[in-house]
Amino acid sequence: MGSANQPELWHDLLVVLGSSAAALIGLLFIATSLHLKEIVNNPILQRRAFNNTCYLLLILVETLLVLIPQPMVILGAELIALNLLGLWLPVRFVSTFFRNKEAYRLAGGQIHRAAIFIASFLIGIAGGVILTQRLNWGVYLVVVSCIIFLVRVVFTAWSIMIFVGTLEGQDVTSRAGERSPPPR
């Protein structure tokens, strides 16, 4: 392959990935706003919702960067920088997880999620490094990284919904118990 970035070979897949990320950002905002009280009152759910939004934004920006006509060296550097910036999110989670394991476990936090995101960022960084060497196959790694993010974000959003549903169910049960007359 030549030394020019060839986004036309990836155009359709990148458009699907970017569009999916953009649509999921909108859905995440709607779901969060519908359950704002539960998420605002739980710092762990706040962090997970924030991180999911950031991961989706990273997918969107990465796909746009690859689609922008530019030299591969610059694209690679941009992707390295973006993935290094994003790597901060799961690394921060890991550090706070080990400081407060019990609270994270009660909220459904699991360290394997962070490990998957860290691995995905490292794959994205590797793709960027390969692109700086003017090797087109680095785009494969960038696309794999984006796909992993997309799948993982969907599963994380699902776990947030399940946890919020559990909180709402507990709240309904406790309110129902308050309204019932005392036993005779």
The pLDDT tens digits of the residues spanning 78-104 come to 999 999 999 999 999 888 888 888 777
The fraction of the chain above a pLDDT of 70, given in percent, is 87
Q: For residues 132 and 86, what is the distance between their CA atoms, to the nearest angstrom?
A: 19
Question: How high does pLDDT run on average in the chain?
Answer: 86
Q: What tokens were used for 6? A: 């060839």
CA atoms within 13 A of residue 72's CA, in its CB half-sphere: 21
Q: What tokens were used for 39? A: 């998420």
| Angle of CA points 9, 16, 73, to nearest 5° | 45
Examine the pLDDT at 179 and tell me if it is beyond 70.
Answer: no
| 129/31: higher pLDDT | 129
pLDDT in tens, 149-173: 999 999 988 888 888 888 777 765 6
Segment of 42-51, 107-116, 145-154, 170-179 carrying the highest mean pLDDT: 145-154
The model's pTM is: 0.82
Q: What tokens were used for 81? A: 């920088």
Cα 41 to chain centroid distance, Å, stands at 21
Region 21-37: what's the mean pLDDT? 88
